[in-house]
Chains A and B, each alone.
Chain A
Amino acid sequence: MKKTLAVLLTMGLALSFVGCGSKEAAQVAETAQETATEVAETAQETATEVAETAQETATEVAETVAEVAEDVKGEGVMSYADYEAAELDSEVVVETYVQAKQSWWEDKATFYTQDQDGAYFIYEMTCSQEDYDKLTPGTKIKVTGVKSEWSGEFEIVDATFEIEDGNFVAEAKDVTDLLGSDDLIKSQNQLVSFKDMTVEAVSYKNEQPGDDIYVTLSKDGNNYEFCLEYYLNGSDEEFYNLVGGLEAGQTVDVEGYLYWYEGPNAHLTKVTVK
């Protein structure tokens, strides 16, 4: 019996050491030669593949450009004008392109999206972590949800989505001249820029770094509110410090998504101190 027990324990010990062996010198030399041959072969194959891929990509880009230029909506999908006209609390279906991601938690995610006609803020859309990772800027998605308004911000809530073929990344639209006008709201949620603004005040939401930063900028003697939304880009330490360190009197160009909270409250994405 003692022998049996000893054999069982020895076997267990032996099993636990499997995989810990080391390679002999001869094996290493042989492997080196094989690797050199493989590298040469791989280089040749890669060159051919790169050429093929380049051709394919060129074709795809051409197709995408054509598609985006037209931005043809699928069946049952609203145009931006239809979306604008839709009643609050009604179901909406839009095709749009992810521009930025704000947050993900427990299969809910918030996005800034835009097509060539307008922008859609999508609040807490059902989205797995896996899908969230796929939704890089430019990705086309078909969103089905409910149009809603929260403190002046129009958004799509209780939404689901499908990823579609297509890619579009918006360029910032200069809306400086629209500041203070009723037309500014027409660019709500779009990526916009404001030029030659003067810094009036900067404050941290909870008076310490680590949360949103509220920035007051002025133009022609009128103040406007901006925000570094922590969940959007608070982890970009360089940007966070730049915004937190802005001083009254500085002149800046800024870009951001034109969020709305009882008035324009752009979420900053870029600040250039002049």
Chain B
Amino acid sequence: MNKKRLGLALAMALLSIGTLTGCHGAKSTSDFEIPEEFDESRNIELTFWAKNDTNKTQTAIYNKAISDFEELYPNITVNMRLYTDYGKIYNDVITNISTNTTPNVCITYPDHIATYLTGNSTVVPLDNLFADEKYGLGGSYLKFDSPTVSEVVPEFLKECMIGENHYALPFMRSTEACYVNKTYVEKLGYTLPETLTWDFVWEVSEKAMEQNADGTYKINGQNVLIPFIYKSTDNMMIQSLKQLGADYSDSDGNVLLFNDDTRQVLKTVAEHTKNGVFSTFKISGYPANFLNAGQCIFAVDSTAGATWMGSNAPLIDIAKDKLVDFETQVMRIPQYDPSDPKMISQGPSVCIFNKADPQEVLASWLFAQYLLTNDVQIAYSETEGYVPVTTKAQQDQAYLEYLSLEGSDNDQHYDVKIKASRLLMDNTENTFVTPVFNGSTSVRDAAGQLIENVTKNVRRKKTVDDAFIDKMYEEVRALYHLDQSGAAAGAGGKADLGKLPGASIALLTVLVLAWVLIAAYWITDKLRHKEQ
């Protein structure tokens, strides 16, 4: 877990500017063609930009994967650069596209790839590589046991498609879970349903706000209580709209977020924030810290953050004397229709960047594919509440044994972490992703900003009504450049570069004039010849 949000905020700001600059100055690289043979007589050096969750075990797994791969292919050297958030990777890639110094292999999100693709032939489409008999998925010339295409979970593979092509391989998958203080819910007189509904979460949260005469809360005897905290408010809005069958965006890049269903979600958030039952990570802090201190009952965060959740969590950021003992229940996020649950699919994917040397690109592909082998998939997924992206790994005996040891210790087999992984595996068919296009990242940011603004303003005792929401829609549209017509034009399309400088106008005028004079001369000359 990051110990601060400053870097994150900066990275997000960088990210938003990145979308506007992505198309400037990109150098062209020819389309990649798969070589007949991989040349093992030459030394090839690869750069791999990876992301970890401030988790040392993840770094160790990356290092082991690299050394195992280099043992198989001694002519390839992989240099890893580690990041702790996707925004920074994104920003660095954008900067390096213009100088043609992108990494070879990069952990990323499809939303980001959509922007990388504004450069010419920057990211290699993988469809031909998938199918290549020798070096493709499950290929005959590979020196490792690679999954076949059919062994990659189809839902996860589909998420890596942009237009007609796959531009990434899924690496790990997670979703969001609601980590519930079951002890407090029952103490309040409720029984947890099989599937949480939004109504249930709001009702229990309101009930929890009862106070003692000294101002402490009855449920925890403390001065602090925020019953419901959401980490990623963009996900909160996106999933709410999906569950309601409401508009958000479409694959043509139309921004449909600013609608009446969104307004209703915002009004509900406002209503409960007014009573102090709801807050967000950006406003108050990490949900895990509040949950573990007995100051939160429903904490929604990624399954990839499961190792921070609960009284016995292996990773803790609060002082030990603040920890409260309670039973943690890992549940699907709240639903509007429990009979038709919907939850986001998220997690890192891996893409490869095009280079002038096809052998270098093929080496990149071999390494990217190596990350899908069982050893890497199983080891990495066990670090957090991730799920392997291949059925081959999910059904491997070693992985099944890992799952079966749920709760046998509070480290490798921490029950909350394994339950979080199971949650996604049991709900893969209920997951969805949002349409990916150049600018889709901005629409996502805007979705979260709406909830943040409403929450913040209610806490400041401002009136949140239709007039407020109308004004906020306008402001957020402008902030994320979603106020231009067409497919999120400003969000990721070409930026308005303003008026031409005077010198450029003068130069163009002289050029036009010169051509006019040349044309006039040519016509006069032709006429003279005709007359003669």
* A interface with B by C-beta (< 8 Å): 1-2, 4-5, 8, 12, 88-91, 102-103, 105-106, 108, 110, 123-124, 146, 148-152, 158, 205-208, 211-212, 214, 227, 229-231, 261-263, 265
Contact = CB atoms under 8 A, between A and B. Distances in A.
Contacts of B460: 89-91, 146
A230 B460 CA distance: 32
B242 interface: no
Given A103-B10, A262-B319, A205 B285 contact: no
B459 interface: yes
A152 to B, nearest CB: 8
Nearest to A12: B510
Contact of B10 (A205, A208, A231, A263): A231
A46 B17 CA distance: 47
Give the bracket for the number of chain B residues in contact with chain A. Answer: 35 or more
Interface stretch (B77-85, B135-143, B390-398): B77-85
A96 to B, nearest CB: 19
B82 A151 contact: no
Given A105-B14, A206-B83, A124 B9 contact: yes
Contacts of A206: 52, 54, 59, 82-84
B3 A5 contact: no
A212 B52 contact: no
A227 B518 CA distance: 69
B10 A211 contact: no
B285 A211 contact: no
B81 A208 contact: yes
B50 to A, nearest CB: 10
Q: Which of A1, A5, A90, A150 gathers most chain B CB within 10 Å?
A: A150
Given A5-B518, A205-B2, A205-B3, 10 more contacts: A1-B521, A8-B514, A90-B460, A105-B10, A206-B82, A207-B82, A208-B82, A212-B7, A231-B7, A262-B285
B318 interface: yes
Given A89-B460, A207-B59, A1 B6 contact: no
B298 interface: no
Interface in B507-527: 510, 514, 517-518, 520-521, 524
Interface in B408-459: 456, 459
Interface string B1-36: 011111101100110110000000000000000000
A76 B17 CA distance: 37
B80 to A, nearest CB: 9
A69 to B, nearest CB: 34
Contacts of A102: 6
Counting from the closest, the 10 A-B pairs by CB-CB distance are A151-B285, A89-B459, A206-B82, A105-B13, A206-B84, A262-B318, A89-B460, A207-B59, A106-B13, A1-B521
A47 B27 CA distance: 57
B205 interface: no
B517 A8 contact: yes
Interface in B177-217: none
Given A5-B517, A12-B510, A150-B285, A207 B6 contact: no
B4 A212 contact: yes
Interface in B64-118: 81-84
B56 interface: yes
A245 B56 CA distance: 19
Interface of B: 2-7, 9-10, 13-14, 16-17, 52, 54, 56, 59, 81-84, 283-286, 289, 317-319, 456, 459-461, 510, 514, 517-518, 520-521, 524
B319 A205 contact: no
B7 A230 contact: yes
Contact of B84 (A12, A146, A205, A229): A205
A14 B286 CA distance: 68
Contacts of A151: 284-286, 289
A110 B6 contact: yes
A93 to B, nearest CB: 15
Contacts of B56: 207
A102 B10 CA distance: 11
A103 B250 CA distance: 36
B301 to A, nearest CB: 15
B319 A263 contact: yes
Nearest to A90: B460
B446 to A, nearest CB: 16
Given A12-B510, A110-B6, A262-B317, A211 B84 contact: yes
Contacts of A207: 52, 56, 59, 82
B56 to A, nearest CB: 6
A261 B4 contact: yes
Contact of A108 (B4, B13, B84): B13
Contact of B289 (A1, A105, A262, A265): A262
B360 to A, nearest CB: 24
Contacts of B7: 211-212, 230-231
21 contacts: A2-B521, A5-B517, A5-B518, A8-B517, A12-B510, A89-B460, A105-B13, A106-B13, A106-B16, A106-B17, A205-B2, A205-B54, A205-B84, A207-B52, A207-B56, A211-B7, A212-B4, A214-B3, A230-B7, A262-B318, A265-B3
Contacts of A124: 9
Nearest to A108: B13
Nearest to B63: A207
Nearest to A203: B56
B3 A261 contact: yes
A1 B407 CA distance: 93
A231 B6 contact: yes
A108 B10 CA distance: 9
Nearest to A124: B9
B524 A1 contact: yes
Contacts of A1: 520-521, 524
A211 B2 CA distance: 11
Nearest to B85: A206
Contacts of A211: 7, 84
A128 B525 CA distance: 60
A242 B317 CA distance: 26
Contacts of A205: 2-3, 54, 84
Contacts of A230: 7
A152 B81 CA distance: 32
Contacts of A108: 13
A260 to B, nearest CB: 11
Contacts of B319: 262-263
Contacts of B517: 4-5, 8
A261 B10 CA distance: 18
A52 B318 CA distance: 58
A12 B318 CA distance: 73
A89 B457 CA distance: 9
Most buried by B among A90, A148, A151, A261: A151
A129 B184 CA distance: 49
Contacts of B6: 102-103, 110, 123, 229, 231
Most chain B Cβ neighbours within 10 Å, of A2, A205, A227, A229: A205
Given A89-B459, A263-B319, A150 B284 contact: yes
